Structure formats: C-alpha cells, structure tokens
Chains A and B, each alone.
Chain A
Amino acid sequence: MIAVVILAISLVGFLQFFVFYCRSIIAATADQPLPKDVQDVTGIVRTASPEEFSRVIQLLNLCPDRPEERGQLRAVSAYYKFLGLIRSTVAMVIPSLKSWTDHERGQCTYYAAVALGRRIAFSRDLLAQQMLP
C-alpha cells in the first residue's frame, strides 16, 4: 500500500518537475528573435505553429550537430511528444487543455527554430574556418 502511494506521488512529482524543467529551457529562448534566414526557411516570424515542429527538426538534422544542445533538444522533443499525448487523450475530456497544449507545442517549435538558427551560424563558422588558408 505504501509503495503504491509512493509510486503515485513520485509519478505526479516527476510530471510536474519535467514540465517545469522543459518550460525553463524553452523560456530561455522565448524572447530571442529569429535570424532572417531561419524566418525565410521555416516561415516562422514571431509565433510558431505547433504542427511545424517535426519539419523544423528535419531541417535541424540537415545541419552539423552541436553536442552541447543535444540533451536539451531531446528533452524538448520528449516534452512535445508528451503534450501530443495529453492533447489526444486528456484534452478530449478537458477541452481547455487543448489550447494550452497547442500553445506549448508552438513554444517547442519556436525553441527548435532558435536552435536551427544557432546551428546555421555554427555551420557558417565551420565553413569559414575551413576556407581560411
């Protein structure tokens, strides 16, 4: 019985901390403007559509990887999938959750677009280094 209570509290705690943690990662990029080339490629200017996430991730995968943001991207991708799960299950019962999950998924897309901007800049730096005599 005690193990069941501990399990329930731990799972609730995990979900809460996971959501807060992912939001703290996303919040760091929410105010950053997107570079012009990222705006042109993705079509995102200020707010991102929740459905664009996988397309932005595909674009990210075309650029050379930056190991330092790999963990954060995985956390945000997991958060995006978790939100998708909430949207297709719990949000059916509680409709107000639908708009919240859409907003959050849009924020995840914006985070991925900011990461794309960093990767493009990183690729340009790499190219510039290789061009040096």
Chain B
Amino acid sequence: MTACAVSDLFRFRILFHYGYSSKEYFYFYYYSDALLTIVLYLALISLFVHVFKEMNADKYLIFGASFLLFATALFSYLVVAQSKVLHLSSFAVELSQNLYFVGLVLTFVLWGAILKLRETRARLVQIVLSLGIYFSLFAANYAVCNLYSSSTWLSAALSQLFGCLLPLAWAYAFWRTPEESRLVPARLAVSHR
C-alpha cells in the first residue's frame, strides 16, 4: 500500500509536469505498474508464508516464488523478443500481464490450502479473497485488451476502477475485522441441494 501511494504521488507529479500524452508519463506509468505488480506478488507470497508458518516451509516457498518470478520474467521476455522491435516498456507491460495471471493461479492454490488446512482467521481469509478478486479482474482486463485492441481506452478506465477495490477491501479487513475474529472457510464453499 505504501509502494502504491508513493508510486501514485510520483505519477501525479509526472502527469502534472509533462501531461497525460507525454512519453515520460507513459514510460513511468508502465514501469511503476510492473514494479507494483512484483510488490503485490511478494505480498501474496508473504500470505503463503503466513498460512504455511506451522509447517516451517518458508525456505521452499521463497525458493519456489523466486523461481516462478524468474520463469514468468523469462516467458515475458521470450514473448516480447518475438516482435521485431524490442522495447523495455513492452517487456514491462507483458510482465505485468503475466504476473497478474500467475497471481490469480497462486491465489487459487492459496485458497485451496486455506480450505484444506482449515484456516479460520477471518481477516486472512478476507485479504486472500479480495486479492483473488483483484488479480482475476486485472487478468481478465488484460486478456480483453489483447483480444480487442480497440478497447484500450475502456481497459485503462476499468483498471483505475479495479485499482480502488484492493485498498478498500484491505482497509475494511484491517480496520473492521477484529484480529481474533474467526470463521469457517468450508462454510463459504458453495453447496446447493
């Protein structure tokens, strides 16, 4: 959240000085977005560490996360390398897109682990679920953008809207959900008779 706030301050400063359609704003926006996505990825890994704390699996988790981050970066590079002109900004955009999808898959895995390990901390459950919503919306948004290149303006507008969801949901989880509050995640699973 701090990284996001700092990035927004710098974005505003660059927007104010150079304008919305300037190259400076364009580059800063996408590079900072890639960095923020990596920070969010690290936040997700820290949630993994929280859930698997009792198993003392920190080392394996950190190794696995680093490997996955490297593999995603390599895949993004290979995708960008296929195009004739190689731009660092294209790599930053591609890396962000792929990390959102990897984040979504990892959140699925984390949610599965929460159900399996019968994790009951309500705050942790809400943080993980809101992260899942955030990653899935961004991954879907980027996918639509790739499918219909004419919808870039809509995608940009939607990403601003989606960007508000995570701070709001996390603020609610930290301020309104007491730390000692418990719930049974298995009861949240959809079951209809």
Contacts and interface: CB of A to CB of B under 8 A. Distances in A.
B101 interface: yes
A68 to B, nearest CB: 6
Contacts of B193: 96, 99-100
A21 B177 CA distance: 13
B68 to A, nearest CB: 17
A17 B101 contact: no
B183 A28 contact: yes
Interface in B135-193: 135-137, 139-140, 142-144, 146-147, 168-169, 172, 175-177, 181, 183, 187-193
Nearest to A11: B140
B90 interface: no
Contacts, number: 93
B104 A9 contact: yes
Q: How large is the interface on A (under 10, 10 to 19, 20 to 34, 35 or more residues)?
A: 20 to 34
Contacts of A20: 111, 129, 132, 188-189
Nearest to B129: A21
B129 A17 contact: yes
A11 B136 CA distance: 7
Residue from the set A20, A72, A96, A100 with the largest chain B CB neighbour count within 10 Å: A20
Given A10-B101, A96-B193, A97-B192, A28 B140 contact: no
A101 to B, nearest CB: 8
Interface string A6-25: 11011101101111110111
Residue from the set A11, A14, A25 with the largest chain B CB neighbour count within 10 Å: A14
Nearest to B193: A96
B64 to A, nearest CB: 21
A18 to B, nearest CB: 6
A3 interface: yes
A4 interface: yes
A27 B140 CA distance: 28
B105 to A, nearest CB: 8
B172 to A, nearest CB: 6
A95 B101 CA distance: 34
Interface of B: 101, 104, 107-108, 111, 122, 125-126, 129-130, 132-133, 135-137, 139-140, 142-144, 146-147, 168-169, 172, 175-177, 181, 183, 187-193
Given A13-B104, A17-B111, 18 more contacts: A7-B143, A9-B104, A10-B101, A13-B132, A13-B135, A14-B137, A18-B133, A19-B190, A24-B122, A24-B183, A68-B172, A68-B176, A71-B168, A71-B172, A72-B176, A96-B192, A97-B192, A100-B193
